[in-house]
Amino acid sequence: MSATFDKLKAMLAEKGTLSNEEINAAVEEHGALSDEEMTWLESEKLKVEKESGDQITMDQYLEALNTLDSAEAGSDEHTKAETIVQRYESGG
pLDDT digits (tens, 9 = 90+) for 5-62: 999 999 888 887 778 888 889 999 999 989 999 889 888 887 776 676 667 888 999 9
pTM reported for the whole predicted model: 0.55
* C-alpha span between 31 and 55 (Å, rounded): 35
Q: Give domain limits for the chain.
A: 1-54, 55-92
Q: What is the DSSP string of 21-41?
A: HHHHHHHHHH-PPPHHHHHHH
pLDDT computed for residue 92 by the predictor: 59
